[in-house]
Amino acid sequence: MENKLEPCPFCGGAPELDSQQAYRALVDGKVGTRFVIYCTGCNADMGFCREDVESCNHEGAEQEIITTWNTRPAPSEADVKREALLAELDAQLDALGNEIIALREDLDVRADEERDRVVGWLSRFVADAPWSDEVIAASMFAQSIAANEHRSEP
Ligand SMILES: [Zn+2]
C-alpha cells in the first residue's frame, strides 16, 4: 500500500494525514470519523467521513484519501510542449555557457602567451642593444628630471 503523500498542489508544502471526529457531510447531525489531509504550508485540505462511503473500512478510507490527494490532472498538450521547449532551452543555455567558458580559457591562454612574447622581445631588445655609458647616464638624468617634475606638482 502506497502511503507517500505528494506535495501540496497549491504551494508545494508538506501535507499531513490525520483523522478526527466530525459531523458527516451527507447525514445531518451524525458524527463520524473524518479522514483529512491538510497542507502544513497553506492549510489547503481535503477530507471525508468514512461512514459516508459505504464500501470503506478504516484502512480503505485512509488509502482513498491518499489516492485522492495524490491524484493530479494530466498535463495539457500546451504544458507538455512548454516543458519540452524549456528543457531544450536549458540544454542550449548549458552548451552556450560551456562554449563561453572554453572561449574565456582560450583568451586567458592567448593573453599569457602574448605577454610572454612581449616580455621576451623587450628582454632581448635591452640585452642586445649597444647601450653606451652616455645613453645610460642620459636615461638616468631624464628619469631624475621626470621624478623632480612629478615631486614639484601641486
Ligand atoms: Zn499548500
CA of 40 to the centre of ligand 1 (A): 7
According to the model, what pLDDT value does residue 93 have? 97
Confidence band of 149 (pLDDT split at 50, 70, 90): confident
pLDDT greater than 80 at residue 127: no
pTM of the model: 0.48
Q: Are 65 and 46 contacting, i.e. CB atoms less than 8 angstroms apart?
A: yes
What's the pLDDT score for residue 1?
A: 46
* Cell numbers found for residue 71: 491524484
Task: Report CA 108 to chain centroid distance, whole Å.
Answer: 28
DSSP 27: S
Centre of ligand 1 from the C-alpha of residue 16, in Å: 11
Ligand 1 centroid distance, CA of 3 (Å): 18
